[in-house]
Chain A
């Protein structure tokens, strides 16, 4: 529990590992290195409040400056680790500085997947991962009339909602037949799509962008593969993210869509740990027939997996178990998902008497495995708890919309 702890990547997961390890009694020096010039901040608001101008970078800070000092966490910013020597217990940054360690945690996150089509390098084609990207996007949004969002995933849809609300003509292009493909049921995707259409966005599903048109080096239109042309002075590419596992790979750690870790967050050398968006982990959820491995890109996972890693570090290991959950705010829509559903899981829709709300339950044979709540935070909390506790909700009860989930699940036997 003493020795030098080095955490590479000062994002949500890195901050949590460093502070939890200290909280659990790690005595030695803790160094948290991040390549961005800013103190660690929360990313979710980048596509929401920050983009709307309702939150400043300062307001996104994950911890106060005083906190790092009090906890004796040496926060090193603007320094990119370029090389790892695991046997020599040393990391080297791009600037040539050397960082010896006794224990190493990789929390390098993910980066947006680029779009491999003609014109993707034109001016006005942006991606969104960090506060710098968000600042540029916000600036550009204020000057354009037409935005095309390529990719109907969470980040793309959040930006689309913000842009439409700001009066920018917005189109969303999604190659899959439905928005948020595979992450939510078709029912939820349809509900969300209707809300975006009602807010004034255009949505094109089941079609790929073919190339981007430019004028004088700047993007002017997105040409779809069916020949349709969508005018755009700004294009946001939101086609998913890939894990930043290149350091780990070069150091000889096993990687396959992320750094392969076990339920204690150990990488393949049995000594290095990896957490957050960069890690590929065994499914922590209690659902039957869990996915063998997956990568989770969420605040919940970054925090919970980091806590597991901190416990491992201080010699009090416990396996990572829990119901992963995620939220996404898209304009007036609050979408909350608990549990991990597969495309072939059944759905039970619980419409709400109040318009604009809906809850969808996902079943794998007789088991409730996930819940998708639109503007139903109370349902979400009850279902998240039930899923975590393994409390069953028989399907015929779920189908009975006169039944209060809260009342039923609180009195039902476990």
Chain B
């Protein structure tokens, strides 16, 4: 089972046991982790699932696509080098992932 650690802007942390094949966004929304909205359900339409991906996980996922890249430029919270849209981070078995939730999504 993959595991996701969600770190809030205030430093508090929630750990969720995820399902392989689900995204970091789906896992957050289904379990009520605050700060990740995911309104479009993962179809790259809303950018309300922005997260900062921990450095140790940088190579664990498919790279940023052109649309994701452009959308990150326009996310509600300023983009950083490790910004991702969490609906594009699909979890694999055994993975442990750390993400930090931004201040605002809308």
- Which A positions have Cβ atoms within 8 angstroms of B? 19, 23, 42, 44-45, 48, 59-64, 66-67, 70-71, 299-300, 303, 327, 329, 334, 336, 377-378, 380-382, 385, 406
A14–chain B nearest beta-carbon distance, Å:
15
B13–chain A nearest beta-carbon distance, Å:
17
> Would A406 and B45 be within 8 Å (CB), given that A327-B40, A377-B67 are in contact?
no
Q: How far is the CA of A219 from the CA of B32 in the complex (A)?
A: 45
Binary flags per residue of B6-46, CB closer than 8 Å to A gives 1, else 0: 00000000000000011000100111101000011101111
Q: Which residue of A lies closest to B23 (CB)?
A: A59
Q: How far is the CA of A382 from the CA of B45 in the complex (A)?
A: 12
Q: CB distance B70 to A45 under 8 Å? A: no
Q: Among B26, B71, B73, B74, find the residue whose CB has the most chain A CB atoms closer than 10 A.
A: B74
B20–chain A nearest beta-carbon distance, Å:
12
Q: CB distance B74 to A382 under 8 Å? A: yes
B99–chain A nearest beta-carbon distance, Å:
18
Q: CB distance A59 to B21 under 8 Å? A: yes
B contact residues, range: 20 to 34
Q: How far is the CA of A59 from the CA of B45 in the complex (A)?
A: 18
Q: How far is the CA of A71 from the CA of B31 in the complex (A)?
A: 10
Q: How many A-B residue pairs have CB under 8 A?
A: 66
Q: CB distance A59 to B71 under 8 Å? A: no
Inter-chain contacts of B26 with A (CB < 8 A): 59
> Would A381 and B44 be within 8 Å (CB), given that A63-B32, A66-B31, A67-B31 are in contact?
no
Q: Specify which of B22, B39, B71, B76 is in contact with A378 (CB 8 Å cutoff).
A: B71
Q: Among A23, A329, A377, A385, find the residue whose CB has the most chain B CB atoms closer than 10 A.
A: A377
Q: How far is the CA of A62 from the CA of B28 in the complex (A)?
A: 11
Q: B47: CB under 8 A from chain A?
A: yes
Q: How far is the CA of A317 from the CA of B30 in the complex (A)?
A: 26
B106–chain A nearest beta-carbon distance, Å:
8
Q: Specify which of B22, B32, B43, B70 is in contact with A19 (CB 8 Å cutoff).
A: B32
B47–chain A nearest beta-carbon distance, Å:
5
Q: Which residue of A lies closest to B30 (CB)?
A: A64
A279–chain B nearest beta-carbon distance, Å:
18
A377-B45, A377-B70 given. 11 additional CB < 8 A pairs?
A: A19-B32, A59-B21, A59-B26, A62-B29, A62-B30, A64-B30, A299-B40, A329-B43, A378-B71, A378-B73, A385-B74
- Which B positions have Cβ atoms within 8 angstroms of A? 21-22, 26, 29-32, 34, 39-41, 43-47, 67, 70-71, 73-76
Inter-chain contacts of B46 with A (CB < 8 A): 327
Q: CB distance A334 to B45 under 8 Å? A: yes
B43–chain A nearest beta-carbon distance, Å:
6
Q: How far is the CA of A19 from the CA of B26 in the complex (A)?
A: 16
Q: CB distance A385 to B43 under 8 Å? A: no
A359–chain B nearest beta-carbon distance, Å:
13
Inter-chain contacts of B74 with A (CB < 8 A): 378, 381-382, 385, 406
Q: CB distance B73 to A377 under 8 Å? A: no
Q: CB distance A42 to B41 under 8 Å? A: yes
Q: CB distance A44 to B30 under 8 Å? A: no
Can you report 6 residue pairs joining A to B where beta carbons are below 8 Å apart?
A44-B41, A59-B22, A59-B26, A334-B43, A381-B47, A381-B74
Q: CB distance B30 to A67 under 8 Å? A: yes
Q: CB distance A48 to B43 under 8 Å? A: yes
Q: How far is the CA of A381 from the CA of B46 in the complex (A)?
A: 7
Inter-chain contacts of B22 with A (CB < 8 A): 59
Inter-chain contacts of A66 with B (CB < 8 A): 31
Q: How far is the CA of A41 from the CA of B25 in the complex (A)?
A: 15
Q: How far is the CA of A380 from the CA of B40 in the complex (A)?
A: 13
Inter-chain contacts of B70 with A (CB < 8 A): 377-378
Q: How far is the CA of A382 from the CA of B71 in the complex (A)?
A: 9
Q: Specify which of A19, A42, A381 is in contact with B71 (CB 8 Å cutoff).
A: A381
Q: Specify which of B29, B41, B45 is in contact with A336 (CB 8 Å cutoff).
A: B45
Q: CB distance B75 to A381 under 8 Å? A: yes
Q: Specify which of A60, A61, A300, A329 is in contact with B39 (CB 8 Å cutoff).
A: A300
> Would A44 and B43 be within 8 Å (CB), given that A19-B32, A59-B21, A63-B32 are in contact?
yes
Q: CB distance A385 to B76 under 8 Å? A: yes
Inter-chain contacts of A377 with B (CB < 8 A): 44-45, 47, 67, 70-71
Q: How far is the CA of A60 from the CA of B43 in the complex (A)?
A: 12
Q: CB distance B32 to A327 under 8 Å? A: no
Inter-chain contacts of B29 with A (CB < 8 A): 62-63
